[in-house]
Structure 1
Amino acid sequence: MVFSEIVRLAIDSFRSSKIRFALTALGMVIGSASVILVFTIGSTGKQYVLAELQKIGTNMVMLEYQGGGAGAINEYRNDFLTRDDERAVDEQVTDVALSSPMLEMHDRVTFPGGIAKDVLVLGVSPQYKDVRDLVVLSGRFFDEEDETTHTKVAVVTEAFAQEMFGSSSAAINQSFQLTGIPFTIIGTFKESVPTFGQSEIADETILIPYSVGRYFTGTDNVKQIFFSIRDPNDVEEASTEIVNVVHVRHLASSVYKTTTLTSLLTTAAAIANALTVMLVLVSAVTLAVGGVGIMNIMLATVRSRIREIGIRKALGATAREIKLQFLIEAVFISLSGGIVGTLLGLALPVSVRVFTDYSVPISVWSVVIALGTSTAVGIIFGTLPANRAAQMDPVESLKYE
């Protein structure tokens, strides 16, 4: 028998028992749809997490002093970063687009009700807003003129403004004191992504011009320097150049470290991929259950068609052809369910993309895996019934009642 004749026999078998065929394929429909949806959900979650991390600044490099810096014999001194280090990097590292120093101070501020709290005060340059991708909620950020003229202005967090004055908008043009010196609030801000205190910005943080903060500390030392790199792909290379430039300007024993989001993004992507694979494997259990159903139905089919098998063998059909016929029937059931399930699984993400503004990712690999797994399930779970049919004795089959 040629292959086309075997396929026609399988199709005729399905036509004679449409309901049984549909119910058997239902498990594969559910399993394939689950694989597609799990892939979509995993890819969407990965896309969201990476997008949120990127808002912090994938092109940002943070430089800080880690320690070291021995002077004379038996003498130890710190070798902190300075504003001159920032200028040197700006001049020598062409990939740097923006930069800002940061010095850190702490002070006690009296809030309404006579409550005094410790607040974090950061002295930064006007470029700090763009380097850190801060969101100005009301008012404005201080500019180069404020920096040059040493204007006593401040930009505060939303939490500080609400606790001190009731709202972000109400805080604009209000005054408060730092170490007895009045400062005027010209704006309120927040981070583009909540970092829950894991960045240099706390809930109640005050930003002031670096030139003003320098007079409070009485030193040119800075705690950290932030750089913005023109191309995110050059971040790692630029961070190495930044460290090299700074090392030349300081003692050989001093240690300086750059921090970027590149490794964090890579780790987050790897975790998201691992979770997606795990969920796909869990959803594949449904396909295995569907495969067991196919095997049971095919075993029952073989039993109900014993006389047919005997007649076909008596007419010259080989064991290989009998086996191939029942194996094709199992694969047809499995693959048909896989195709329907794949279409149903794709219907949801496609509908979301068409009828909403959300760009839900659709993975071609999820379709390949769903259809490939469906075919494999049909072959694996259809082999036993097909072998049993092929091994039947034609004489005994013809006698079967």
Structure 2
Amino acid sequence: MHDTLRRAALTALLAASATAWADPVPSTDPVVSPVPLLALSEGKLMYVDPEGARAIVECEQFREFRMLGGPEKGVLKREAKPCTLWNLVVHPSTGRWAMTAHISSSQFGNKMTHVRLSGRDIPTPRITPGGVNKSGDFIIMGDLDGIIGVTTGRPEAWTDNGIFRTQSPQQFTQDGARVLVHTGDHSYLEWWSWSFGPRSQGIRVLDRNLQDSAGVFPVKGESRAVLRQKNGSVRIATLEPTGTKPWKIGPPLKNVPRKGMLVPFLVGDTVYYYREGFFDENRACDESKPGTYRRLNLRTGEERVWRTHDTWCSTGEFEGLNSKRRTLYFIEGNTVAGTARMYEYSLDSDEVRELEIEAVSDVLDISEDGGTLLVRAGQLFLAYNVDTGEVARVDLREVRGAGVLNLRE
């Protein structure tokens, strides 16, 4: 599951699934968190800290339909449901945030009439003026006081032919002035930089022809990222720090094959990545030749395996890497069955340790200092202290995204 768009679909599936083994017992206590954070829960963007919780944004999608049978046959019904909010990113020191609201097109007799965002109706792209709406993602930006700007982003990202295209905020530029967003579908991805403000303007910083559809994984705080291309080559992309110019692309790396290289993270001159194992002609895993976790020094060319993925040929994704703490996180096992375990790899000591979190499914964010992980464990949303091992449950439901804040006076 290393394709970025497939990961977005998996994230939504995990968030929406109601697995019995992880169904949380509702709490009557106030919703609090040991650290200030933002989280997407049931169509709302919530701010939570040790004092309590409040909604910053509320989003509803309205639709209408006629009953096809029964005593109410022919009656026009109207209903409102929470929007699908996801892809939350935060700028920890300012409290700025960006996210997407996914809008589904009208179908099967259900007509989407309008979207209401914090009490304000917002227009959606439509096939014809006043006609059926298209499907796509709004990019929404704001701070702790509420919404600052909303944009439909790229026109081609809104479709009426059943093709699913995402516009996914990935991270802020260091100064918080712009948001880096990747957009695309199963066949392509390209990166855009959007200005933070009420009338956001976009600049394409990485063309679709320069990367394959598996995506790019820039590490926060790093100025370069690994770029994998459709022709099988691997290059280094240098991110323009202000987000106002295209990234610079280096020459192909010698003796670094693209095939089987999953989730590459670049820190300094070292690439950390997962190399797929061997599959037979039926795509069955050859358990004697499993996947491996590797590190490659770009300066010296030295590559070595630091962990073998016993009997498995592929993996999910690295859950994140913190360049300040110099730790990388990954999950092994079955997240659907609730048997997965999460591990921390130290870039400096070259050691792996298991983190004591039961039934973990994914990491939603890592704090700036690397000391706090926001994770999902089934239907539970947890704040995990990496130093003490303390786990704090934050009683929000259906959390699709979250970010740790580091607000400064």
TM-score, normalization: structure 2?
0.19
Higher helix share: 1
Task: Tell me the TM-score normalised to structure 1 length.
Answer: 0.20
By relative contact order (CA 8 Å, sep 6+), the higher-ranking structure is 1
